[in-house]
Each structure stands twice: as C-alpha cells, then as structure tokens.
Amino acid sequence: MEILRVALLKRVAGYIVALLCMAFSGCGSSSKIYTIGVDPSWFPLDVAGKEPYVLAFSHELLQKIGHLKKCAFQRMALSWDDLLEAVNKGQCQGILSSLQPYVFNLQTYQFSDHFLQTGPVVVMAEKVAKTEADHLYEKEIAVFSPEDEQLLMQTYPEALMRSYDSLPQALADVAMGVIDGALVDYLRALSYVTDLYAGQLKIVSSTLNQEGLRLVTSAKQNKQLIHLFNEAIKELKQSGEYQTLLSKWKLG
C-alpha cells in the first residue's frame, strides 16, 4: 500500500508540474524562466480606466512569446516605485514599464521596442474621409500643452492649432464640427471613440511619437531577453496574432 501511495503522489506531483509549466507559457525541462515585474496600475501612465485590459493583454502576450521562443515568464506584482529597484537588485530579469529610452536612461537600462503604443493620436469626426484625414491641410486641431503644439507642428506643419484646457470640451467641439480634430493620448482616445463618441469620432492617425509600454532590463544583463522579446513581437505582428490580441482586449 505504501508503494502504491508513493507512486500515486509522484503522478499527482508530475501533473501539477505540467500545469505549472503550461501556466508559465509552455516551459520545458530546458526552458529559461524569466521573472517580469508588473505594476497592475501602470502608474505613472494614465491608461484611462483600461488597467485590467492592459494587464490581461500583456499577460497573454508574454504567454505567446513564451510559446514562440520556448521560454517561460512569471509575473511579479510590484508597486510602481519598486519596479526599477527590483531590476537593479536582480529580483526580476525585467519589468513592463512606460519608462522611455531617453539618453540618460540608456546608461542604466536597456529597452525593448514598445509592445503597446500610448502616444498622442489625432481624433476627427467619423464622417471625415480617409484621404482628408491623411492630409491635415489647414485643419484646426485642439492641443493641450506646448509639447502637443511642438509635436503636431513637426508631424503636420500645415495644421492649425487651437489651445484647450478641457479634453471633454475639445472632443465635444470636434463632434459638433466647431473644430476639425484633437490631439489625444491613444488609450484615452480609444476610450472616447468606443464609448461616449462611438459612431461620431474616430482615430485617424498612428501615434505621433514613440511613447509606449516596453520591456525594460538592466543595461548590463539579459540582453538576450530584449532580443528574444523584440523578435517575437515582430513575428506576432507578421502573423496577425498581435492585432488579434489588441482587438480581444479592446486596445485596437
């Protein structure tokens, strides 16, 4: 009886290990397991109430990358102010963060390509034709800061700018035809055009800068992880799985 009990325990243990491996993105006996720190609030990025969607999207994206690259990812929930310290101390191999690859950051950290863009986009009326949206000649666009003005001027030098203090007012004016468009951060724009202004407003541009969520690791370690991550994102975009994930989690 004792022999049978031990055998049964071994079978159960093996089953549990198999389930854990499935949960960690398909790991095998020789798979590398990476611990990735995540702040579920995504602070200081304003995700416009989409925290659960961004978290679910990033989790499933890591799973797909793990399957593609024969590795595993386990998430470590951390507060926003503990993320970089966790990387610095080697408590995790990387973090998912809105930290940007500015020159002063590159001395300490290395950055993947963004896996979710969050920068400003142009929002216009639903009725605006694509050809008109592609060429913002003499269109009046709402902006909310000097940084917005500079970015719009660099990207669409023909556009006219009108300063606003209130995003809701600006979008209401776009919907009523008072102005032609507004420059709005992508996730916030997505919330408005799929909810309050569904059927009235639409996003007509790609993001105007390179802001977004990235995998961030130590500059001295885990270079292979950054390469693996970037390569997998490229493959998922080429296969269409990336866009499917965005749509599934209401981010595309």
State the CB neighbour count (10 A cutoff) for residue 205: 19
Q: How far apart are CA 230 and CA 47, in angstroms?
A: 23
- Name the band, by pLDDT with cuts 50, 70 and 90, for residue 138: confident
Average pLDDT rounded to a whole number, residues 8-28 = 38
Domain layout of the chain by residue ranges: 2-117+212-248, 120-203
Q: Domain 2-117+212-248: what homologous superfamily?
A: Periplasmic binding protein-like II (3.40.190.10)
pTM for the model = 0.82
pLDDT at 218: 94
Phi, psi dihedrals of residue 249, rounded to the nearest 5°: -100, 20
**Is 143 a residue whose pLDDT tops 80?**
yes
Give the least confident one: 76-90, 131-145, 190-204.
Answer: 131-145
- Give 28's pLDDT tier (boundaries 50, 70, 90): very low
Q: Give the chain's length.
A: 252
Q: To the nearest whole percent, how much of the chain has pLDDT over 70? A: 88
Note whether 2-117+212-248 and 120-203 share their fold: yes
For 120-203, which CATH superfamily applies? Periplasmic binding protein-like II (3.40.190.10)
pLDDT band at 134 (very low <50, low <70, confident <90, very high): confident
- The predicted model gives 44-59 an average pLDDT of 95
State mean pLDDT over 207-235. Answer: 94
What is the β-pairing status of strands 212-218 and 109-111?
Answer: antiparallel
